[in-house]
Homo-oligomer: A and B are copies of this chain.
């Protein structure tokens, strides 16, 4: 099995290294990941500039390729030019921070997995909820690995991204279980802190935090808050199919 491993926190991120170490049990892992941190990069790609690449040792066994670009660029370039053949699986992560709820749309981690999915490669995005303590990526990687094994043994699904999140646990704590759940679509409550620079010009800091504690039940946000591993199948067709049949929309034809 050939696995492409990427992320949005950059090729030197500890979450990527932890993922690499467990994924090796499944086959050959090649790492192509951003040279710099690309958090909240969304599904950007690089069209108007070149993508520089560099060899980067990830650990004693693996030298990866870093790309001066976005997570989705890494997947495109890896599949088209860097890997010897089309991979059997693309894994993106382990992200430092949960990608549940509306964060899914901003996430470079998820964007890399979605890019893989529409290039025809099964994809899994891995994200670890942060709390105020030091994250235990090695322990999280073992918990992710259990879900990855089950996803593979059930049959990888081309065109579908499995978005997997793990609670902020440390060894030997275990999640309460695994929940297959839809994405929560509650918006962030954005707040901006307005300041003036020394010359009197304004600038704004986004101070929003995504709160796991106020949510509806039966979503990824609620299950992660309650201590479960969450798995949400995602798609890349943004068409609102129900609305296609809504009379207010259908009657726009003409």
Contacts and interface: CB of A to CB of B under 8 A. Distances in A.
Interface of A: 39-48, 50-54, 70, 72-73, 76-77, 79-81, 102, 104-106, 108, 110-111, 114, 118-120, 147, 150-151, 154-155, 157, 160, 162, 177-180, 182-183, 185, 187, 190-192, 194-195, 197, 201-206, 231-241, 243-244, 246, 248-254
Contacts of A42: 41-45, 70, 72, 111
Helix, strand, loop or mixed for chain A's interface?
Answer: mixed
Contacts of A81: 192, 194, 204
18 contacts: A40-B44, A51-B205, A53-B202, A72-B106, A80-B192, A102-B118, A104-B238, A118-B185, A119-B187, A151-B252, A154-B249, A157-B243, A179-B253, A180-B249, A183-B237, A185-B236, A234-B239, A235-B239
Contacts of A70: 42
